[in-house]
Structure 1
Amino acid sequence: MTRMSDSMPIQNAILSSQNATRPDPVVIAKDAPEPTETLYCEDLCVGEKWLSPWRNITADDVRAFSDLTGDFDPLHDEDENGESLLPKSPFGRPVAHGLLGLSVLAGLSTEYPRAATLALVSVSDWNFENPVFFGERVRVVTSVESTEPHGRRAAKITWHRQLVSDDGRTLQQGKFVTLVASNKRYRSKPR
């Protein structure tokens, strides 16, 4: 499992960023293992971090997302030369839909960490900080911000999630709140 801690050696790669709004540099652990176990609410500690594997955002991904959502804005399309179909695009080239980035982030986050998630409660404070370009390589940095008991068999976990590019830019970030199951077994009380 790709966990990061405060005691991580300094020689691990640190991606610098020119994005002043990100609170901390993104620390990338070398030779990080794959997740192998399901984590329950009792296993999660505030401050723990995980990394997803890298994923490329392709023009085909963007076209499929356009087909799925019906969002065919020229900002998200290119001509045969790879140029934006939107004249005078503010980005100079085609960009992926912001919600495609958020959806990819949600997918990559399901295994990093592999939590015993019961439900998504909310997404909040979401910021689309930089565009996601066609061909961009992205990954997710997830950390636990808070845990709060929720009934006898779960906890509300607030996660801070960032979609980052391989050049160190934070593309999107915000909070997800999920219900995560407990691994404790509860016995029914006799009536």
Structure 2
Amino acid sequence: MQVAERRFDDYEVGDERRTTGRTITEADIVLHAGQTGDLYPHHMDAEWAATQPFGRRIAHGTLVLSVAVGMTAGDINPRAMSYGYDRVRFVAPVFIGDTITSTAAITAVRPHPKQPERYGFVDELVTTTNQHGETVMVLTHVYLVER
């Protein structure tokens, strides 16, 4: 990881970056289920999942979110921190063996409403796709950034 100090005025709408791919494994799903307690058959029961519309087990949405956002965290910026995630949508299923990639694009920069002289918000649209180029998840990652 690199340290990349960027203050609020250093961010520009349209800046974009793309991650490398990450293949989702059965071990990822089992570990995530154990950590979260989400043992729903959609994720854990191959026989049951085979009878459902997708025909096989799917990764947890929260697993996909965690991996997709984690892949975008290549730089450490001591002047910014995650403020949260807006408009999270799981657009399509992610299956065991799928490789996901994320693209993160700055879509908005705005002053903090209560402390505009100290902070601003940066919105980054994260679009995650599978190996077929199909969008599987979208969200807006909101950063709180020092001026």
- Whether the TM-score (by the shorter chain) exceeds 0.5 is yes
Specify which of 80, 92, 101 is matched with residue 139 of structure 1.
101
Confirm whether residue 65 of structure 1 aligns to residue 27 of structure 2: no
8 Å CA contact retained: 1:139, 1:163 = yes
Normalized per residue, the structure richer in strand is: 2
**1:99 aligned to 43, 46, 62, which one?**
62
User: Does structure 2 retain, via aligned residues, the 8 Å contact 1:117–1:178?
Assistant: no
User: 1:122 offset after TM fit, Å?
Assistant: 2.8
- What TM-score do you get using the length of structure 2 for normalisation? 0.86
2:124 aligned residue (135, 159, 166): 159
- Gaps of at least 5 residues in structure 1 are 1-33, 183-191
Q: Does 1:47 align with 2:14?
A: yes
- State the TM-score, normalizing by the size of structure 1: 0.67
RMSD over aligned Cα, in angstroms?
2.1
Unaligned stretches of 5+ in structure 2? Answer: none
Q: Which has the larger radius of gyration?
A: 1
Q: Deviations over 1:98-121 (max 9, x none)?
A: 11101112211212x654454322
Cα displacement (A) at 1:41:
2.1
CA-CA distance at 1:146 after TM superposition: 0.7
Tell me by how many angstroms 1:88 deviates. 1.2
Deviation of 1:126 (Å) = 1.5
Contact kept, 8 Å, 1:95 with 1:134, in 2: the verdict is: yes
The percentage of aligned residue pairs carrying the same residue is 26
Matches within 5 A, 1:165-180: 165-180=130-145
Structure 1 CA distance for aligned equivalents of residues 32 and 23 of structure 2:
14
Deviation at 1:37, TM superposition (A): 3.5
Matched, 1:130 2:92: yes
Q: Which amino acid aligns with 1:44?
A: Y
In structure 1, give the amino acid aligned to 2:33.
Answer: S
Distance 1:64 1:72 in 2: 11
Higher helix content, 1 or 2: 2
Amino acid paired to 2:84: S
